[in-house]
């Protein structure tokens, strides 16, 4: 869900890493959710993963801001990242409230959205530099 940015390669790479980390953290959450049902260690892993996922969502917002600001491109990735942070906040509240009928489907939605955002930002190509030719 990130759009083409005019930021340098560093800003785009940071955005790619942030979304990749977020996607990986959500996938980890799905795996540890299964462990909740079958292992006594599942709750501790899922709780730790929740903190990492939330931190990754905040990192995504920071990366979107840093990718947008230097180049003055569209701020749309910031909107997507902020929306995702809101979803992550709702997810945490639903998890603490033990509402799996809402928590699980929202987790699946978040994973799908994160994969889409990751695919879009990975397919973003930096503009090629054109040098002066003699």
Q: Domain ranges in the chain?
A: 9-122
For tokens 């569209």, name the residue: 74
Q: Which of 18, 6, 100, 11 is nearest to 56 (CA)?
A: 18
Cα angle for residues 10, 77, 83 (degrees, 5° grid): 130
At 3 the pLDDT is: 46
pLDDT (0 to 100) of residue 125: 62
Give the pLDDT score at 108. Answer: 96
Mean pLDDT per 10-residue section of the chain, whose length is 134 residues: 53 90 96 88 92 96 86 81 96 94 96 94 68 52
Q: How many CB atoms neighbour CB 100 within 10 A? A: 13
Contact 75, 68 (CB under 8 A): yes
Beta-carbon count within 10 A of 113 CB: 18
Would you state the pLDDT for residue 91? 95
């Amino acid at each position: 869900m990130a759009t083409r940015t005019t930021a340098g390669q560093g800003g785009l790479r940071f955005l790619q890493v942030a979304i990749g980390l977020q996607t990986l953290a959500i996938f980890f959450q799905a795996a540890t959710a299964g462990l909740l049902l079958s292992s006594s260690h599942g709750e501790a892993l899922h709780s730790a993963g929740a903190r990492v996922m939330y931190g990754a969502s905040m990192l995504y917002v920071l990366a979107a801001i840093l990718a947008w600001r230097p180049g003055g491109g569209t701020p749309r990735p910031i909107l997507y990242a902020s929306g995702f942070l809101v979803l992550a906040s709702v997810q945490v509240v639903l998890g603490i409230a033990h509402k799996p009928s809402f928590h699980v489907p929202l987790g699946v939605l978040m994973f799908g959205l994160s994969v889409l955002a990751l695919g879009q930002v990975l397919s973003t190509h930096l503009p090629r530099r054109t040098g002066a030719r003699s």
